[in-house]
Structure formats: C-alpha cells, structure tokens
Structure 1
Amino acid sequence: MPAPVSRRTAILGGSLAAAGILLGSASASAAVPGQSNGGVRIMPLGDSITDGYTPYPGGYRVKLWQLLTAGGYTVDFVGSQTNGPAELGDRDHEGHPGWRIDQLDANIGTWLGQSDPRTIMLLIGTNDLNQNYDIANAPTRLSGLIDHIRAIKPQSIIFVATIPPQSNATLESRVRAYNAAIPSIIAQKDSRVRLVKMYDSLTTADLADGIHPTKAGYEKMAPVWYNALRSVRSSLVPLHAANGLAAART
C-alpha cells in the first residue's frame, strides 16, 4: 500500500504539486469522540472533502446531521476518524485527507470490521486526479472498491457520489471524464449501489481554494446526500429493523 498521506501536508503530485497546490491538509480534531443517538450506522467515506478540510472542519456532515435529526431520523455516523464543530452531533467519519481510491481499498476491510456500517456514503477520486495517479484506471479502481465493500458487507447500501468541480482547467477536464464513467459503473452493480450526482450541486464559486468547498459549498452538498438517503428508505433503517420489517411482510 502506498504510504498514507499526512493529515498535515497532503501535497499533490506532478506539476500541480510544484505549483504549491495542496489537497488534504489537517483539519481540526474534535476534543471528544463523536456522539451518537443510537440509530442506523452510516459511514461517510472518502478524502479531505469528507473530513471537512478548511475552512470548515466537519464539512457536509454538519448540515447533513442537522437535516437528518430535524427529519426525525436516528443515525450513528461511524468511522475511525473524528472532527467537527459543536453543532455536529456525531463527529465520527472515515474521511482521509490526501488519500486515493487504492488507499481506501487497502484499509476498507479493517474499517468495515470496526464500524459495521449499514449505509456507506462514498465520495472519492479527487486525489487520484490531482496526484496524476494512473488517471485512466481511476474508474476501474472505484468499481473495485465498491465490489470490495459489497463482498465484505453484502447487505450494506452504498451511495457513490460524483466528485465536485475544480477551478484548474486541467483538473476539471479530468473530473468530467471520471464522473462520466461513474453512472455506467453503478449500472453494473445491484440495487444496493446508488448514484449521487454531487458534481451538479456545486460550481467553482463554491470552492474555497479551487479544490475544497467553502462552508456554503459544503452546505449545498448536505441536502444532496440527505435526499439520496431518503430515496432508499432502508438506508436509514438499521439492518436488524429492516430484516424484521421484511419478515413481517412475509
């Protein structure tokens, strides 16, 4: 496995790194572990955009938590990482600044075993493109990661998001090509794998540094996740409860 990128300095590869563009510097860590109200276990999975890189540690998870609780849903964000402000009621997540698809894949078995999520929100690929890491095969790696998750947690529900736009023209062309491949990947999976059109919710005006969303940008992302989760009722129901409902119908 490639050496994990430091949470303090995730430096992009190639000419972009030479230009001093950074992706995935450290975000503020919570002083206490994330809290839970004991509901369905949801894993926010990805890179620094899931972590909530500056200027808004916690990122989309803050507004998403608020939407879920206001909507009457009982959820438990899970993961080995924790950060975010006081208004984020559950700070656990699996967002790793600077990490690529292959790095998530190398660790996903451990994380799934530790956190046992019912629902997984996956947004990954930005660092593959920014680090110029075998870009042509990034969609294939994404498909493999999804298959790996499905093999370990076959009853989990996976929401796979397209990645946000980028201000740099070269990066943006890569983003468009990568995102264009995702719907066909999802179409090859079963109904427990769903597409989330995150790219469409943001513009470059929503980026703080050309890569990461502003606070307002993260807040635009939250309802996209929220609506996706609500569109699959079982994603917001613990597995034992979903099984009980299914048994009651038979």
Structure 2
Amino acid sequence: MSRFVKRTLRKSAAGLCALMLGAFGCGGADAVEQGDVTPTEEQALVTRKVMPIGDSITQAAAGHASYRCPLWQKIRAGGYTADFVGSQTGGYSGANSCTVSGFDVNHEGHWGWRADQILASISGWATTYRPDIVLIHLGTNDLFQGNTIDSTLQEIGQIIDKLRAVNPSVKVFLAKVIQSTRSNTTLDAFNQRIPAFATSKSTTTSPVIVVDQWTGFNASTDTYDGVHPNATGEAKMAERWFQAIRSSL
C-alpha cells in the first residue's frame, strides 16, 4: 500500500471521526490507520506501466498484429489494467493490424535490433516512461549476426541494470526466445543459459522471471517466414506472457 493511499485513508478517517466524535468516538479511525488494503484493492488503485522490449518479433511488420495485440486483449478480458509504454507506436513500415478496441500501441520493439542497440537507448526510455514491468525478448538478431551467447547475455544484463537505475523495483520478464527455422541449435543453446542467468540477476525487489516462449512454439507453423510469428504464433506468445505477468498487474 503506497504512502499516498495510506495518508488519504488516514485523512478521510480523521475527518469522519471529527464529525462523529460526540456520539461514537474515534475507534474506527485507528482501525483504518493500522489496517491495509487487500492485494485486489491495491491493484485497482495502480495501473502498471508495461514496456515490451525487443526486436522485430516484438514490433511486428505492418499488417501483422504483434503478440502485443492478443496480450492486451487478454489483460482487458481478465479484468486487469495496464499501460503499455514506449517510444514506438506501430509496426515496421506501417501500422500493426490489431483491431482490438482500445489497443495500447506503445512499445520498444525495433526491427533488426540487437541487444547492444537496445542497451544504447534504454536509459532514455526508462527515464521517460518509467516502466514497472518489462517484457524482454532479445537475442535472436545477435546470434543470427554472429555475436556470442556470452556477449549477448552480458548486454541484456546491462539493460536490466540501467532499468533498475531508474526503477529499483522493476519486474523483468525475460523470454527464452521463440524457435526459428534458422540457427535453431544456437538459439536453443542461448535459451539453455537463460534460467541460470536470470537467477544471477534476480533480486528480492527486482525479480527476473523466465518466460519460456520456446517450448511449444513451432517455427514451421507458427511463423510466416521462419522467424516472425503469424497470428497463431502471436497468440501463443501472448498467452505465455499473460500467464507470467498477470499476478504482477
């Protein structure tokens, strides 16, 4: 429960106490001051800022919805609230095709980008948008372009550090990247390193939670070009993200 909410409840209780003092006393005011709201009530008071971070798999091309569209739909259908944040508002070379009412278009998905390119800009984005939750799906382009697993994980770690410099309590949801018809062996080796890496970076106040986007994803049927998700693949990704983050919304 935030200090602001506590102060507001205390002031409200004090005002009610003053009106009722002669007849009833002020025992209720103490109960309000010492009590707390339930998790459900607290969630209703706060809209979490969610920043999807990644490459073309996060952004999606013009004419494709991106996983962000069905994820938004699941969040709203589940009775949750969220504010997607970021400097980007569309797909590559045009708008995403999401037709869900009220779809929040903001994100930090950048077509063709590697982790080092995200790292170069993350401090500015974090300062501007101050996310509470980040969804990171990174590493595919790094490995396609010959970067090592070690260097890619190091850069993702530095991204997390810079996010924490702005918000020490940011929750990081880190994906095992989806399958591809290209270099699956290398991607699998990268994903095998993710759980230990997440454990090494996780803290009590800023956990790093692994989201397995690899298992159950079929690049032959869930992408339109061997790399980028089609509608079926987007829906699978959205479901994995939603199940991971729902308790944090």
Alignment TM class, shorter chain as reference: 0.7 to 0.9
- Per the TM alignment, residue 125 of structure 1 is displaced from its structure 2 partner at its CA by 0.6
Tell me the residue number matched to 1:80: 87
- Per the TM alignment, residue 54 of structure 1 is displaced from its structure 2 partner at its CA by 5.7
Aligned positions of 1:186-197 closer than 5 A: 186-188=198-200, 189-191=202-204, 192-197=207-212
**Where does structure 2 lack aligned partners over 5 or more consecutive residues?**
1-45, 91-95
2:162 aligned counterpart, secondary structure: helix
- Per the TM alignment, residue 152 of structure 1 is displaced from its structure 2 partner at its CA by 2.6
- Runs of at least 4 residues of structure 1 off by over 4 A? none
**Where does structure 1 lack aligned partners over 5 or more consecutive residues?**
1-37, 237-250
Root-mean-square deviation over aligned CA pairs: 1.6
Question: Quick check: which has more Rg, 1 or 2?
Answer: 2
Q: Which one of 41, 48, 58 corresponds to residue 56 of structure 2?
A: 48
Task: Report if the CA contact (8 A) 1:44-1:50 is conserved.
Answer: yes
Tell me the residue number matched to 2:78: 71
TM-score calculated relative to the size of structure 1: 0.73
Task: Report if the CA contact (8 A) 1:167-1:210 is conserved.
Answer: yes
Q: Which one of 219, 228, 240 corresponds to residue 244 of structure 2?
A: 228
Aligned positions of 1:29-178 closer than 5 A: 39-53=47-61, 56=64, 58-83=65-90, 84=96, 85-87=98-100, 89-168=103-182, 171-178=183-190
- Per the TM alignment, residue 39 of structure 1 is displaced from its structure 2 partner at its CA by 2.5
2: CA distance, partners of 1:199 / 1:130: 16
Aligned positions of 1:202-241 closer than 5 A: 202-204=217-219, 205-230=221-246, 233=247, 235-236=248-249
Amino acid at match of 1:42: V
1:155 aligned counterpart, secondary structure: coil
Tell me the residue number matched to 1:7: none
Task: Report if the CA contact (8 A) 2:88-2:106 is conserved.
Answer: yes
Task: Report if the CA contact (8 A) 2:56-2:111 is conserved.
Answer: yes
Tell me the residue number matched to 1:199: 214
- Per the TM alignment, residue 150 of structure 1 is displaced from its structure 2 partner at its CA by 2.1
Deviations 1:185-206 (A, max 9, x none): 1111214211111111311221
Q: Quick check: which one's helix share is greater?
A: 2
Task: Report if the CA contact (8 A) 1:55-1:215 is conserved.
Answer: no
Identity of aligned residues (%): 37
2:173 aligned counterpart, secondary structure: strand
1:81 aligned counterpart, secondary structure: coil
